[in-house]
Chains A and B, each alone.
Chain A
Amino acid sequence: MKHIEAIDVNAYYGDNHVLKSIDIAIKENTVTAFIGPSGCGKSTFLRTLNRMNDYIESFRLEGKILVEGNDIYKKKVNVEELRQKIGMVFQKPNPFPKSIFENVAYGLRIHGEKDKKKIEEVVEQSLVKAALWSEVKDQLKKSAFGLSGGQQQRLCIARTLAVEPSIILMDEPASALDPISTAKIEELINELKQNYTIIIVTHNMQQASRVSDRTAFFYMGELVEVGKTTDIFTNPSKKQTENYISGRFG
Chain B
Amino acid sequence: MSNLEIELQALKENLLEMMGLVSQQIELCKESTISGDLKLAEQVIENEKRVNALELTMDKDCENILALHNPVATDLRFVLAVLKITGDLERIGDNAKNIATFLIKNSKKLDKDYLDKFSINKMYEISISMLSCLSESLKKDDAELARKTFKEDELLNKKNKNGPKIAAALIEEDPKQAKLIVRLLAVVNKLERVGDLAINIAEEVVFHVEAKVLKHNKDKS
List residues of chain A with CB under 8 Å of any chain B CB.
205-206, 209, 233-236, 242, 245-248
Contact = CB atoms under 8 A, between A and B. Distances in A.
Given A234-B211, A235-B211, A245 B70 contact: no
B67 interface: no
B25 to A, nearest CB: 34
A195 to B, nearest CB: 30
A247 B73 contact: no
Given A234-B211, A235-B211, A248 B2 contact: yes
Contacts of B4: 246-247
Given A234-B77, A247-B4, 17 more contacts: A205-B72, A206-B70, A233-B72, A233-B73, A233-B76, A234-B72, A234-B73, A234-B211, A235-B211, A236-B73, A245-B73, A246-B72, A246-B73, A246-B74, A247-B2, A248-B2, A248-B5
Q: Dominant SS at the A interface?
A: helix
A235 B2 contact: no
Q: Could you say which of B5, B72, B77 has the most chain A C-beta atoms within 10 Å of its C-beta? A: B72
Interface in B47-87: 70-77
A205 B211 contact: no
Contacts, number: 30
Interface string B75-115: 11100000000000000000000000000000000000000
Contacts of A206: 70
Q: Could you say which of A233, A236, A247 has the most chain B C-beta atoms within 10 Å of its C-beta? A: A247
Interface string B4-20: 11000000000000000
Give the bracket for the number of chain B residues in contact with chain A. Answer: 10 to 19
Contacts of A245: 72-73
A235 B70 contact: no
Interface of B: 2, 4-5, 70-77, 211
A248 B211 CA distance: 19
Contacts of A236: 73
Nearest to B74: A242
8 contacts: A205-B70, A209-B72, A233-B72, A233-B73, A233-B76, A246-B74, A247-B4, A248-B5
A244 to B, nearest CB: 10
A61 B76 CA distance: 39
A246 B211 contact: no
A212 to B, nearest CB: 14
Contacts of B73: 233-236, 242, 245-246
A246 B77 contact: no
A246 B211 CA distance: 16
A206 B76 CA distance: 13
A177 to B, nearest CB: 19
A242 B74 CA distance: 8
Contacts of A235: 73, 77, 211
